[in-house]
Amino acid sequence: MGNRNKTLGEFIIEHQAAFQYSSGELSKLINAIRLAAKVVNHEVNKAGLVDIIGKAGDTNIQGEDQQKLDVLANDKFIQTLKNREIVCGIASEEEDDFISINSNDEQHQNKYVVLIDPLDGSSNIDVNVSVGTIFSVYRRITPVGTPVTLEDFLQPGRDQVAAGYIVYGTSTMLVYTTGDGVNGFTLNPAIGTFYLSHPNMQFPETGKIYSVNEGNYVHFLQGVKDYIKYCQQEEGDRPYTSRYIGSLVSDFHRNMIKGGIYMYPKSSQTESGKLRLLYECNPMAFIAEQANGLATGGRTRILDIQPTELHQRVPFFCGSQKMMEKLHEFLDKYRE
């Protein structure tokens, strides 16, 4: 059987030795995420036909309007993970606090916590632009047999045991890593199976795409402004192409395949940055580093940041190594 014909299930079994914990646990975890992704994919694809687009009337903990599909995706992922008897706790970008999950025997025997952004880029739902799901998995650090605590979720990104995303676009893809490279699987909607379509994904060493919301340019730090100007200069292989969808999953996915850099810096308006460390930056940084890319907050490696709160925000830069190194040169000029 050629690489391109392997199903996600077959791939997990084949590569179970690379996962440092029980292969059965990993299989259960990824299967739960795969199942929820298929349900959400089905809903995303019919969003234009039924009343699940538009705002639900609530705002999430971030103060953002919740789109109806956000709420549905959040419910589906939580419900599916709860039912699989593998997760002891879930934290979602859409929930104020983490959710503690007890196993059927009431003994709190499950070992993993999952942090999830159920529908990233959801402001794009009602205009038919790609959206995605981002997930991050840790082993709990409190003793098995006790309920999870906040400490189990506030772990630095380097301690992740798995991370990935699902992009709901022209085709639906699940991309994930367990610390042994990055692989992408495409859903065959006719039979509901994910097949290995992008083995061993890698960021090209450099690229010609920069992704940033240039509408915020005047609010950026000078080092970021100078780098953007560098990207626009006619010299050598420049100017680079500006591509910004406004959905982290989609922008990251494109840049990993084609080569590029993604930037969401802090600004005079968002002093801490806008993206969430636990739900967006850590999982994407883990994937980036496993795919030969880099991810920093401008100075600090994202995976080395010690989280202090569930919904913490940080500046985020990630992409091809040479582009990131050049960005850091510009940022270093303005270090205090």
Sign of the C-alpha dihedral computed for residues 246, 248, 253 and 256 taken in this order: positive
121 annotated ligand binder: yes
Model confidence band, residue 46 (pLDDT cutoffs 50, 70, 90): confident
pLDDT surpassing 90 at residue 58: no
Position 253, amino acid = H
Phi then psi for 331, rounded to 5 degrees? -65, -35
Provide the whole-model pTM.
0.92
122 annotated ligand binder: yes
Report the C-alpha gap between 9 and 4 in whole angstroms.
13
pLDDT surpassing 80 at residue 56: no
Phi then psi for 173, rounded to 5 degrees? -125, 145
280 annotated ligand binder: yes
244 annotated ligand binder: yes
Helix, strand, or coil (residue 63): coil
8 annotated ligand binder: no
What pLDDT is attached to residue 129?
A: 76
213 annotated ligand binder: yes
Residue 210's H or E segment, with its range, is: strand 209-211
- Over the stretch 128-168, which tens digit does the pLDDT of each residue have? 778 899 999 999 999 998 999 999 999 999 999 999 999 99
- Over the stretch 177-214, which tens digit does the pLDDT of each residue have? 999 999 999 999 889 999 999 999 999 999 999 999 99
119 annotated ligand binder: yes
What pLDDT is attached to residue 1?
A: 44
